[in-house]
Chain A
Amino acid sequence: MKTKKVRFIKVLSTALLVIVLVLQVFPLEMASAAQITLRSLTLQAGATDGGSKPGGVVNHLFTYTLPSVGNTNVGSIKFMYCTLAAAPADACTTPTGLDTTSATLGSENGVTGFTMVNTTNGSPYLTKTAAAVSAGTIATHQLASVTNPTTTNQTFFVRIRTYASEDVTGASTDAGVVTASTATQIILEGIMPESLVFCAGETIGLTSTVPDCATATAGLIYFNQLFSPTDTATSTSQMAASTNAGSGYAISVNGPTLTSGSSTITGMAYGPSVKGIGQFGLNLKANSIAASVPAIGIEAAPVANATNFRGQAATNYDTVDNFKFNTGDIVANSYNGITPFGTDAQIFTVSYIANVPGSQPAGTYVTTLTYIATPTY
């Protein structure tokens, strides 16, 4: 009996030794999930919100490599948003303000064919008919329209888990945690002061080639000759304007026609100069001797271009040898080229003509014209 017992112990010990030695050569695999590698979460901008904006509706792009331990079936992938990477008993507190219930599946690569299940806030998952995934597959899945946690500068974690089942039930196959953070938006602010420089006078000079309103002379302007039914009297004035108004400026002329007591010289409808009839008109062009001798007027200087000089004569005041006068009319604007219509300073020369009939009462004819520049910002 004693010999039997000793032999049993001997056999048992030998078996134990053999098992231990075998385990050294062929260790048992652990049953726990394999680690998902090279994993990251990129917070991408949404329709209007920056990717890391607290409470922003943005896109979450997950990139990760499934473990190289074999071809495992993947039927579903869960993205579990938590305030901690891991916690006792796998507890998870969903970050404040996070909302995944409106999320949709955006782009997908590597492992494709999924549809999105977003019914549980904080734990959306992708599902498909389970299929084997090659070892080392790099997968990207974009969850679109996720509402970020609302806390500023908050780090949050997403536990990624793959399942053989199609509804994230059962033990996970592979797992890994990624993290991201909301961040205070950087709000830049600066003021570009609104500007308008405008002046009028008989003449306006230049300083370092730039029109300078400080050089504007007085605005008392005389016609070049006495009014006559056989000749056209002419005169000029100048004005300069610049603005950074995005919608540019408009300059209007305001005032009565030439008047002497109860007598007036008729303001012109748009047309050419005709001697012997009552006409008072103006334009902003370089006119020819067809309108008067000598010819009067200068084109706007510098001439308008599509960059920084946008001022130009307005309709009805922009044709050589044709004139008009109607109080309140826009005579110039900067609506030239593409927006914005801000412009650097230019000088406009306003040409005036006066024709009278033979019956025009004698007297001194005067008018006070006011030019008004209105910028629109």
Chain B
Amino acid sequence: MLKRLIGWVSLFVITVCCVFASSLDTYAETLQSPNYKLDESVIGVGDLNQSSSASYKAVNATGDIAIGNSASQNYQVEAGSQTTHDPTLSFKVINGNVDFGRFSATDPATTTTTFSVSNYTSYGYVVLITGDPPTNQSHTINAMAATDSSQTGKEQFGINLVANTSPVSFGANPDNGQFGFGSVESDYSTANRFRYVSGETIAHADKSSGMTTYTISYLVNVSSITPGGKYTSDQTVIITGTY
């Protein structure tokens, strides 16, 4: 009788172990090598608890001692229990109206604008800029198709996304804050050198990235015969994330 009881207990233990082993496999899938990956896994006491109905949604978490993203060349971790598989994208042009003031054949005109991007659970993003150079009636200021420095008296329209010291000090390098991984394309990342080709990629992130604030530095030079009048241009910045 005792022997039989031991047998049944053993069978029960084996079954329970198998069932638990089966459920634990789900977590093990995302802990990978050789480059290492933690995806939506929980380390610590906290966990995500989502409750919802048609009228409300609650997301609770406990125990987070740090949140955000950490990465090196080969791995990246979104820390915190409130993470999600859904893609998120946040994009904002912070000041959209940019005024050069008066153009002059003897003084370069400069100005800046800023935009910010964050993109989560993605393979990164690219930032494109499109639009014509400043135009007055049928005359368009020459876009700098080749990266070049400012040349007073020669028609030029160009941009970069870094801090400059020439022709004047203006612009700023990208601000990645604590968790951003954005960077500027090489054609637009050299101080005091400018370029503008509509549709070109001007910045990117190779991985999921927290907030990066970019500053676009605009340069306009005109010649003595650049037709007088009001010059305007609508520029469009486009973010494309890959998920």
CB atoms of B235 and A185 under 8 A apart:
yes
- B residues 5-41 near A (Cβ < 8 Å) are 8, 11, 14-15, 18-19, 21-22
CA distance A29 to B222 in the complex (A): 66
CB atoms of A181 and B102 under 8 A apart:
no
Which residues of A sit under 8 angstroms from B100, Cβ to Cβ? 188-191
Which residues of B sit under 8 angstroms from A339, Cβ to Cβ? 138-139
CB atoms of A181 and B90 under 8 A apart:
yes
Which residues of A sit under 8 angstroms from B93, Cβ to Cβ? 153, 183-186
Give the contacting residue for A189; candidates B88, B92, B97, B236; CB below 8 A: B97
- Least Cβ distance of B198 to chain A in Å? 9
Which residues of A sit under 8 angstroms from B239, Cβ to Cβ? 52, 180-181, 183
- Least Cβ distance of B9 to chain A in Å? 12
Which residues of A sit under 8 angstroms from B224, Cβ to Cβ? 242, 244, 308, 342, 344
CB atoms of B101 and A187 under 8 A apart:
no
Which residues of B sit under 8 angstroms from A244, Cβ to Cβ? 224-228
Which residues of A sit under 8 angstroms from B103, Cβ to Cβ? 190-193
Please tell me if B44 contacts chain A, counting CB pairs below 8 Å.
Answer: no
Residues of B participating in the A interface, judged by any CB pair closer than 8 Å: 8, 11, 14-15, 18-19, 21-22, 52-54, 57, 84, 86-93, 96-103, 109, 111, 113, 115, 123, 128, 130-131, 134, 136-139, 216, 218, 220, 222-243
Identity of the chain A residue whose Cβ is nearest the Cβ of B102 in the assembled complex: A191
CB atoms of A183 and B92 under 8 A apart:
yes
- Least Cβ distance of B84 to chain A in Å? 8
| SS class, residues of chain A in contact with chain B | mixed
CB atoms of B241 and A89 under 8 A apart:
no
CA distance A13 to B18 in the complex (A): 14
Give the contacting residue for B236; candidates A20, A40, A50, A155; CB below 8 A: A50
CB atoms of A24 and B21 under 8 A apart:
yes
CB atoms of B98 and A188 under 8 A apart:
yes
CB atoms of A246 and B139 under 8 A apart:
yes
Which residues of B sit under 8 angstroms from A340, Cβ to Cβ? 138-139, 225, 227
CA distance A369 to B120 in the complex (A): 76
Q: Mark A256-275, 1 if CB is under 8 A from B, else 0.
A: 00000000000000000000
Q: Mark A27-38, 1 if CB is under 8 A from B, else 0.
A: 100000000001
Identity of the chain A residue whose Cβ is nearest the Cβ of B243 in the assembled complex: A39
Which residues of B sit under 8 angstroms from A188, Cβ to Cβ? 98, 100, 111, 134, 218, 231-235
Beyond the given pairs A190-B230, A193-B228, 13 more chain A to chain B contacts, judged by CB atoms under 8 angstroms and listed by A's residue number, are A43-B240, A44-B238, A85-B84, A85-B87, A88-B54, A89-B54, A155-B89, A177-B86, A181-B89, A189-B98, A194-B228, A244-B225, A343-B225
Residues of A participating in the B interface, judged by any CB pair closer than 8 Å: 13, 16-17, 20-21, 23-24, 27, 38-45, 49-53, 85-86, 88-89, 91, 153, 155, 157, 176-181, 183-195, 242-246, 308, 310, 339-340, 342-344, 377
CB atoms of B18 and A342 under 8 A apart:
no
Which residues of B sit under 8 angstroms from A191, Cβ to Cβ? 100-103, 229-231
CA distance A37 to B218 in the complex (A): 37
CB atoms of A186 and B92 under 8 A apart:
no
CB atoms of A42 and B18 under 8 A apart:
no
CA distance A189 to B225 in the complex (A): 19
CB atoms of B227 and A342 under 8 A apart:
yes
CB atoms of B18 and A24 under 8 A apart:
yes
Q: Tally the A-B contacts, defined by beta carbons under 8 Å.
A: 215
CA distance A45 to B128 in the complex (A): 11
A-B pairs with beta carbons under 8 Å apart, 10 shown: A24-B18, A40-B240, A45-B236, A52-B91, A180-B240, A180-B241, A183-B237, A186-B98, A186-B113, A189-B230
Which residues of B sit under 8 angstroms from A88, Cβ to Cβ? 52-54, 57
Which residues of A sit under 8 angstroms from B52, Cβ to Cβ? 88
CA distance A192 to B107 in the complex (A): 12
Identity of the chain B residue whose Cβ is nearest the Cβ of A63 in the assembled complex: B242
- Least Cβ distance of A23 to chain B in Å? 7
CB atoms of B228 and A17 under 8 A apart:
no
CA distance A340 to B137 in the complex (A): 11
Identity of the chain A residue whose Cβ is nearest the Cβ of B132 in the assembled complex: A188
CB atoms of B241 and A178 under 8 A apart:
yes
CA distance A243 to B105 in the complex (A): 13
Which residues of B sit under 8 angstroms from A243, Cβ to Cβ? 225
- Least Cβ distance of A314 to chain B in Å? 20
Identity of the chain B residue whose Cβ is nearest the Cβ of A49 in the assembled complex: B236
Given the contacts A88-B54, A189-B100, A176 and B229 also touching, CB distance less than 8 Å? no
CA distance A139 to B98 in the complex (A): 39
- Least Cβ distance of A56 to chain B in Å? 8
CA distance A319 to B14 in the complex (A): 113
CA distance A192 to B140 in the complex (A): 12
- Least Cβ distance of A197 to chain B in Å? 10
CB atoms of A43 and B232 under 8 A apart:
no
Identity of the chain B residue whose Cβ is nearest the Cβ of A35 in the assembled complex: B85
Which residues of A sit under 8 angstroms from B229, Cβ to Cβ? 191-192, 194, 246, 377
Which residues of B sit under 8 angstroms from A85, Cβ to Cβ? 84, 86-88
CA distance A181 to B119 in the complex (A): 11
Q: Which of A42, A53, A187, A343 has the most CB atoms of chain B within a 10 A radius of its CB? A: A187
Which residues of A sit under 8 angstroms from B54, Cβ to Cβ? 88-89, 91
CA distance A137 to B52 in the complex (A): 36
CB atoms of B242 and A40 under 8 A apart:
yes
Give the contacting residue for A179; candidates B88, B222, B227; CB below 8 A: B88
